[in-house]
Structure 1
Amino acid sequence: MRMLAAIVMLWLAGCAGGYVPPDWQLNAHGALRDSVTAYLVGNSKLADMEFARTRAEIASTGRIDLLARTELVRCAAHVASLEFNECGLYQILAEDATDSERVYAEYLAGRWAGLNTALLPAQHRGVVAGADGALRAIKDPLSRLVAAGVLFQIGRLTPNGVTIATQTASDQGWRRPLLAWLGVAARSAEQLGDKDEALRIQRRIDLVLGVDGEPSR
């Protein structure tokens, strides 16, 4: 399963040319990947446990900038699931973050005025520019959901964008963002007075939740 490019690039960018990454790097990469995956499928307990492992591995290096970057990866997954929390844990570390991380944090928060988009991941630059089809053009599914979440947060996401986000989460089997985006679609249908569509979406929500109210697994 593809993840945010940052997850892979964060730890393995130096592997080219025969470079063998140290154990902490491989362990942190694996734990971060597993944490994000667990979060997206709705397993918060496992997500927190794997993220704690990630932090422990990074702590062994004393690299606050890497920890800040890792917090942004987790924050991005939250934005993809329409959980907006101002990336509070990243903010504690922001003083030691790089310029690229600071720009990405501003992007996630929807503070785009004066944003240096050249420092953003390439797939998000067109989103800020307002290019037609920019959302659908993002190939990585999690990055696409992150972009949709940011656009929703600042009130610029179109109904078609909601459809794209919902389909993306559904295609990946990511229960947490799927429930969030289905909720948006259901509220929209209700506001438009489309009772049949609202009921159809509710049936999808019920299927994902399962009979006990928890995400069906």
Structure 2
Amino acid sequence: MNILSRVLSFLTLLALLSLAACSSGPKAPDWQMEAKTAMERAVAAYLEGNSRVEAQEFARARSELSSTGRSDLMARAELLRCASRVASLVLEPCAAFEPLRPDAPAAERAYADYLAGQLQPQDMALLPAPQRAAAAAGADAAALKAMGDPLSQLVAAGVMFHAGRASPAVLQQAVDTASGQGWRRPLLAWLGVQLQLAEKGGDTEAATRLRRRIALTQNPAAGSKP
């Protein structure tokens, strides 16, 4: 089974990470299990809004991966980290991947370009299946929902937003997805986009409602009675 299960399955980069261990086979090396645990905790902490824990756990994962001397594994880990940021609308270059790009496989280079909104049409076939389907569908909220995996949906929505192709339906799908998972960081990011649109469109009722929801997400005490 994939040793980066649950949280990281959203990218289908688990298979690419080559950190798979079968329960019927030999015991996985310690570095694999340590990397698994650290990456799971890092991504979960980031989505929950805990940057300090995320940094600590990713440093631990990076240390374990570096012990193999394999730049391809390190490149994939960096892409996982950058994808969690795209899901949360932190749309910045995946700087830590770039020094690894020359030795990264073609699929990883294509995925990095996808996250940056610079994917070349001829490279679409190199994407993981969920992102390939979303990229082909354009800005279709139904296609996002059909992806199934929550983080895959948010990554694809983030890429759409970066390209200026995120419709109100896509924004709502992203909000619903983040809310359903209890992922505070991406939820606040997507609610913030909805608030900006409501304010720009002069929809004061929607803006007021969104501010209340943002306040509640930021501070649970905001929803309690005096």
Relative to the length of structure 1, the TM-score reads 0.92
The answer to whether the Cα contact below 8 Å between 1:7 and 1:29 also exists between their aligned partners in 2 is no
- The structural deviation recorded for 1:8 is 4.0
Q: 1:41 aligns with which of 48, 52, 66?
A: 48
| Counterpart-to-counterpart distance in 1, 2:218 and 2:12 | 30
- Give the aligned partner of residue 136 of structure 1: 145
Write out per-residue CA displacement over residues 9-60 of structure 1, whole angstroms, 9 at most, x where no aligned residue.
Answer: 3354342652432110011011001000000000000000000000110111
- Contact map agreement 1:38 1:44 (CA 8 A) in 2: yes
Matching of residues 17-166 of structure 1 within 5 Å: 18-130=25-137, 132=140, 133-166=142-175
State the distance in 2 between where 1:211 and 1:34 align.
Answer: 23
Residue identity matched to 1:143: S
| 2:214 alignment partner in structure 1 | 205
> Shift of residue 194 of structure 1?
0.8
Matched position secondary structure for 2:119: coil
Moved more, 84-93 or 132-141: 132-141
SS of the aligned residue for 1:18 comes to coil
| Structure 1 gap segments, 5+ residues each | none
2:23 and 2:115 map into 1 onto residues whose CA distance is 30
| Number of aligned residue pairs | 213
How far does residue 93 in structure 1 lie from its aligned partner after superposition?
1.0
| 1:16–1:118 Cα change, 3 Å | farther
Q: Report the TM-score, using the length of structure 2 for normalisation.
A: 0.88
**Paired residue secondary structure (1:15):** coil
- Decide whether the 8 Å contact of 1:135 with 1:147 is kept in 2: yes
Q: Determine helix, strand or coil for the equivalent of 2:202.
A: coil
Q: Once the 2 structures are TM-superposed, how far is the Cα of residue 107 of structure 1 from its aligned partner?
A: 0.7
Partners of 2:11 and 2:151 within 8 A in 1: no
Find the aligned partners of 1:156 and 1:27 in 2 and give their Cα distance: 39
**Contact 2:11/2:80, CA 8 A, preserved across alignment:** no
SS at match of 1:88: coil
Counterpart of 1:209 in structure 2: which amino acid?
Q
Looking at structure 2, the residues matched to 115 and 85 of structure 1 have their Cα atoms a distance apart, in angstroms, of 24
RMSD over equivalenced CA pairs, Å: 1.9
Is the 1:2–1:140 contact (alpha carbons within 8 Å) kept by the matching residues of 2? no
Aligned amino acid, residue 70 of structure 1: A
Q: Contact conserved, 2:157 with 2:174, CA < 8 A, in 1?
A: yes
Please name the residue that 2:201 is paired with: 192
CA contact (8 A) 2:87 2:158 kept: yes
Q: Percent same amino acid among aligned pairs?
A: 49
* Residues 135 and 156 in structure 2, CA contact (< 8 A), matched pair in contact too: no
C-alpha distance in 2, partners of 1:32/1:196?
Answer: 41
Amino acid at match of 1:29: K
Gaps (5+ residues) in structure 2?
1-5
